[in-house]
Structure 1
Amino acid sequence: MKVSRTLIVVGSLLLVLSIVLTFKWIEYNRAYHKAHTEPKNSTTKAIPLEKKTIERQVKNKKQVQNPLPKKAAKSVANQPKFKRKFTRKIPVIPLLDVLRARKQPSRGRSIFFHETTNFRRLEKSALVQLTARSACAIESAALHNPGLTVFVLFAGATHRPLSGDPLIKALHKYNNIRLRHLNLWRYAAGTPITKWLNSGKLFKSKFLFPHVSDLLRYVTLYKYGGLYLDLDVVVQQNLEKMPPNFTGAESNKSLACGVMKMSSAGLGHKIATMCLRDLEANYKGDKWGTNGPGVITRVAKKQCKTENVKAMINNSKGCNGFRVYDPNAFYAIPWLQWKDFFLPNRLNVTMRRVSKSPVVHVWNKFSKGWKLKTKDSCAYISLAKTHCPRSFAAAGPFF
């Protein structure tokens, strides 16, 4: 069957036309995709086409309703156009999880600090934020205890800057300092407090960060034993030869929990277990001290079989092996006199009072807002120069 010449020509034209239309359609889709897809280097989110159209309509409507005067319009038109600046991302490195790191805390041979400032119930990525005074506490512990490993456990921070933080650089000059992340639920799993933690009562607290810190210190001592220290201390001596189980009295009426040591087995493990059970039984979300110093005070009264704190002090036999140090050991300057650390006219008397203290507590709850220059003459600056020299040098003009 012969096909007419006209039919062949028409068919060819249709074929060419379909190819052209297909090519145009592909080019249109590419252009549309490029115009409405976020650039790889941009930190801003792409706005959907429908939303852009609505915004443009609203903008045009406003301009019609409230037109600019001619002079103002001309002035706006002549303004220079600035390029949008995008936030530069800081290179970071994830903190190792303390439970998954190759180097685990050695039971009874570690010093622990906890940082809970950035804690969130739903864990989010956050950078380590260390103050110069916190770095001083960590360094002083590492400096005077080279035979022990110092673990700084962050309950909120998950990453640290890859470089550039002078305080972290100063701490990394010590071979016995480890910065680690912990996930509260994984960390507390298998301890006597697990069921209570899962109940959510902790998160009804009016003082969440301090109460998470209160919980963690007892969980850590239960898991590993060893020495717990607050981040607002300065260590002045080697602590390795101190008794395996102790705490310190803040006054003749109550004990404190800013410096505690418990063995990983035996008596220390028993006391740590009692502390966790006491915290569960007596937890109060609207009381600042009930869940920290209140816990160790109540447990010590049971252990020592007395309500009299004076009777506990330096009486390890009466407390069946548990030592309670007098206030001069760790709290030589009471919290009511915290300003003595920062006042030039109290330098000499304060240094005399803390001269024999293995650990000096500087009451960060009250003193954190007090700005100090590194050139100031006061007890805290004097302590820092001696016991955390690298952190002091890295802090810059203020400490």
Structure 2
Amino acid sequence: MTRKAKRLWFFLFLSAAAVVMIARQPTYSTRWHRPSVPYHIPQPDLSRSRVQRSAHEVTRQTWWQRALCNFRNSTLHSNPSNLFHLPRLYSDITPKTTDYNIFLSDTACNARPYYRAWCSAESWAGQNPGAEVWYILTSPAADDSDGLVQELKRHYENLHVVGADLDKMFSQTPLDKFFKSGNWTRNTPWPQSNLSNLLRNIVVWLWGGFYSDADTICIKNITHLHNIIAYQYYSDSFANNALMQFEAGHQFIYMVMEYLKDNFKLDTWHVNGPGAATKVLKELCNVTDLDDVLNGTRKCEGVSLLPENMLQPIPHQMWQFYFTKGYGYKFEEKLKSVYVLHTWNKLSEYEPIIIGRDSIYDVAARTYCPITYSHAAFRSAFF
């Protein structure tokens, strides 16, 4: 059976499963009801020692933050007592290449990332207690006015919420000159996406580890995965570096950085992410079709492609399945081989996650990011 035929049968299976699940909704015996306060949510510590620096020092911006953040920093000046200093990767704190590192990032300069992003960070820390999880914020400081960040750090000692000294980090790579030119911030509607497509390669190159976009929920331990990248099919096969793991200094990452140095496109974000990863992987593996790598008929530098049913079980064309009422009923039994749910934020960011709706996202969130879910449920019926 051809790959396109298999995908068609997969879509038909999902559709049929959806019909069955909708029909079964009235018979649920374990319906979840929103608790009043499912977790104790302490008031944040607003003492001066928690900030560690003056408000001016905490909110001071680098050149790239001034170019990237623009108006987004109004939050930083509204109530500086709620802010805490972010130790900067490379200058203040450095991951160990001997650890299994997991990296996520917010390159949109949000002092208060959305609950969905914190849910992602919590799920990665919770499912991988033996790994060090680094959530990188590009904002000069973090706003913890609801106490969520401090509670997450108390519960997950392996979760590190950090800033980044990008000037020093990029200086160790082929992308140094391009980054410091600032061209990635100009004449483009997507400076945040541009930085994301650059930064993921930098952290993996320097320290090695698993990079994940922050529109994911990790539902299974992944620390046995090495030198892998997600496979995605959309009219053709792609290597999607939204989810990838490589050892520090890996040849593939170096080749991607070299390619981006000379071929970075300001008017489209996809070309700089999965497009670049796909082109480089085909060159590295000497193939024209990545299915040869996926099927194991062509080996290349120890790099493996992981199929969609392991990292991206629901394709982006069907992203609504994550948010549909009742679809979360026993979803883990239906997706037994899945490590990560990728919820395609580019398409789904305005779709509300309704508390208690038993959608796949709702069930996954209250199971794998319970602290974040409790904070969200405490304040609203959706997030």
TM-score (norm 1): 0.70
- Aligned Cα root-mean-square deviation (Å): 2.2
Correspondence for 1:288? 269
Correspondence for 2:246? 262
Post-superposition CA distance 1:76-129 (Å, at most 9, x none): xxxxxxxxxx976534221111112245344452100111111xxxxxxxx721
The alpha-carbon distance between structure 1 residues 230 and 351, as it changes in their structure 2 partners (threshold 3 A), is same
Post-superposition CA distance 1:23-57 (Å, at most 9, x none): xxxxxxxxxxxxxxxxxxxxxxxxxxxxxxxxxxx
User: Is the contact made by 2:99 and 2:132 (CA closer than 8 Å) also made in structure 1?
Assistant: no
Cα distance in 1 for residues equivalent to 2:238 and 2:78: 50
Correspondence for 2:42? none
Q: Which among 209, 212, 222 is matched to residue 192 of structure 2?
A: 209
Sequence identity, in percent? 24
| CA-CA distance at 1:299 after TM superposition | 1.2
Long gaps (5+) in structure 2: 1-76
Long gaps (5+) in structure 1: 1-85, 119-126
User: Is the contact made by 2:99 and 2:131 (CA closer than 8 Å) also made in structure 1?
Assistant: no
Correspondence for 1:189? 171
| CA-CA distance at 1:373 after TM superposition | 2.3
Residue 251 of structure 2 aligns to a residue whose secondary structure is: helix
Amino acid at match of 1:218: N
Cα distance in 2 for residues equivalent to 1:168 and 1:307: 48
Q: Which among 106, 109, 116 is matched to residue 107 of structure 2?
A: 116
Indicate the larger mover: 94-103 or 177-186: 94-103
User: Is the contact made by 2:231 and 2:238 (CA closer than 8 Å) also made in structure 1?
Assistant: yes
Correspondence for 1:145? 128
Count, aligned residues: 301
User: Is the contact made by 2:97 and 2:248 (CA closer than 8 Å) also made in structure 1?
Assistant: no
Q: Which among 291, 313, 317 is matched to residue 332 of structure 1?
A: 313
User: Is the contact made by 2:175 and 2:258 (CA closer than 8 Å) also made in structure 1?
Assistant: yes
Q: Which among 311, 314, 322 is matched to residue 303 of structure 2?
A: 322
Structure 1 position 253 matched with structure 2 position 237: yes
User: Is the contact made by 2:256 and 2:277 (CA closer than 8 Å) also made in structure 1?
Assistant: yes
| CA-CA distance at 1:260 after TM superposition | 0.5
Correspondence for 2:280? 299
User: Is the contact made by 1:154 and 1:180 (CA closer than 8 Å) also made in structure 2?
Assistant: yes
User: Is the contact made by 1:279 and 1:295 (CA closer than 8 Å) also made in structure 2?
Assistant: yes
Cα distance in 1 for residues equivalent to 2:92 and 2:165: 13
| CA-CA distance at 1:348 after TM superposition | 4.7
| CA-CA distance at 1:165 after TM superposition | 2.9
| CA-CA distance at 1:163 after TM superposition | 5.5
User: Is the contact made by 2:313 and 2:341 (CA closer than 8 Å) also made in structure 1?
Assistant: yes
Bigger CA radius of gyration: 1
Residue 328 of structure 1 aligns to a residue whose secondary structure is: helix
Amino acid at match of 1:153: I
Cα distance in 2 for residues equivalent to 1:188 and 1:377: 43
Correspondence for 1:357? 338
Residue 317 of structure 2 aligns to a residue whose secondary structure is: helix
Cα distance in 1 for residues equivalent to 2:79 and 2:247: 47
Cα distance in 1 for residues equivalent to 2:331 and 2:146: 35
| CA-CA distance at 1:366 after TM superposition | 1.1
Cα distance in 1 for residues equivalent to 2:342 and 2:78: 40
Structure 1 position 92 matched with structure 2 position 73: no
Q: Which among 159, 169, 172 is matched to residue 151 of structure 2?
A: 169
User: Is the contact made by 2:329 and 2:358 (CA closer than 8 Å) also made in structure 1?
Assistant: no
TM-score (norm 2): 0.73
Correspondence for 2:370? 389
